[in-house]
């Protein structure tokens, strides 16, 4: 092997090591990413109850629903009561519910709850939670307050827009490209 070839191999090896370590010890672009879950979450001050995936869901017929899971995670094995839920100060119409230790309440639009009820889970109470839609804007947030027997938990809930079922809307991509190229709007 010639000196030139050996020098080239050493240079390539050094380059590979330096490129592999170029971000070592640095802040990465994904270091502050969170799980891809739509809703917000919070715990009571003593962590005895938790609310997860709190979201306002918009449906195609301009209906809205509150989606959440409330969990009794109290290590002292006592029941907790969800007394009420309000969205932006308006009562969400959910009846008082007792949540046994280690159990949960899952609420959402009727279509989601009907599908979930097919699974025979022993310790989950399913609740339909339709909301009056005063004009919720997809992408916005509204405060949701859960009143439990121990305390209130208030957190902002994201308003999710309508998720269309695959194949239900026909789109003409070439028409969209032509319109874009000519500055037209749909």
What CATH number did the domain enclosing 122 receive?
Answer: 2.60.40.1890
Domain that holds residue 64: 40-160
Dig out the tokens for 63 from the structure: 């209906």
- Give domain status of residue 148, yes or no: yes
pLDDT at 106 over 90: yes
- pTM (predicted TM-score): 0.69
- Mean pLDDT taken over the chain: 82
φ, ψ (nearest 5 deg) of residue 124 = -125, 130
Q: What percentage of the chain reaches a pLDDT higher than 90?
A: 55
Average pLDDT of the residues in 96-104: 97
- Give domain status of residue 78, yes or no: yes
Q: Measured between alpha carbons, how far is 69 from 107 in angstroms, rounded to an integer? A: 6
Are 72 and 79 in contact, with CB atoms under 8 Å apart? Answer: yes
Helix or strand holding residue 10 (H, E): helix 3-20
- Give domain status of residue 2, yes or no: no
Q: Measured between alpha carbons, how far is 174 from 180 in angstroms, rounded to an integer? A: 10
pLDDT at 57 over 70: yes
| 3-state secondary structure at position 173 | helix
- Give domain status of residue 28, yes or no: no
Q: Rg of the chain over CA atoms, in angstroms?
A: 26
The count of structural domains within the chain is 1
- Give domain status of residue 173, yes or no: no
Alpha helices by DSSP H, 23-172: 110-116
- Give domain status of residue 3, yes or no: no
Residue 72 CA neighbour count, 13 Å, CB half: 22
Q: What is the pLDDT of residue 90?
A: 94
Q: What is the pLDDT of residue 174?
A: 64
- Give domain status of residue 100, yes or no: yes
- Give domain status of residue 175, yes or no: no
């Amino acid at each position: 092997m010639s000196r030139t070839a050996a020098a080239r191999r050493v240079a390539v090896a050094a380059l590979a090591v330096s490129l592999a370590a170029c971000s070592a010890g640095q802040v990465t672009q994904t270091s502050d990413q969170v799980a891809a879950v739509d809703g917000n979450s919070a715990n009571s001050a003593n962590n005895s109850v938790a609310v997860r995936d709190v979201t306002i869901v918009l449906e195609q017929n301009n209906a809205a629903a509150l989606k959440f899971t409330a969990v009794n995670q109290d290590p002292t094995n006592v029941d907790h009561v969800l007394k009420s839920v309000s969205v932006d100060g308006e009562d969400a119409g959910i009846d008082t519910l007792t949540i046994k230790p280690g159990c949960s309440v899952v609420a959402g639009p009727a279509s989601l709850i009907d599908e979930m009820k097919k699974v025979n889970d022993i310790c989950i109470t399913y609740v339909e939670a339709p909301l009056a839609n005063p004009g919720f804007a997809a992408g916005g947030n509204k405060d949701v307050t859960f009143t439990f027997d121990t305390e209130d938990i208030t957190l902002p809930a994201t308003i999710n827009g309508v998720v269309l079922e695959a194949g239900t809307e026909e789109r003409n991509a070439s028409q969209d490209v032509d319109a874009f190229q000519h500055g037209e709007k749909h």
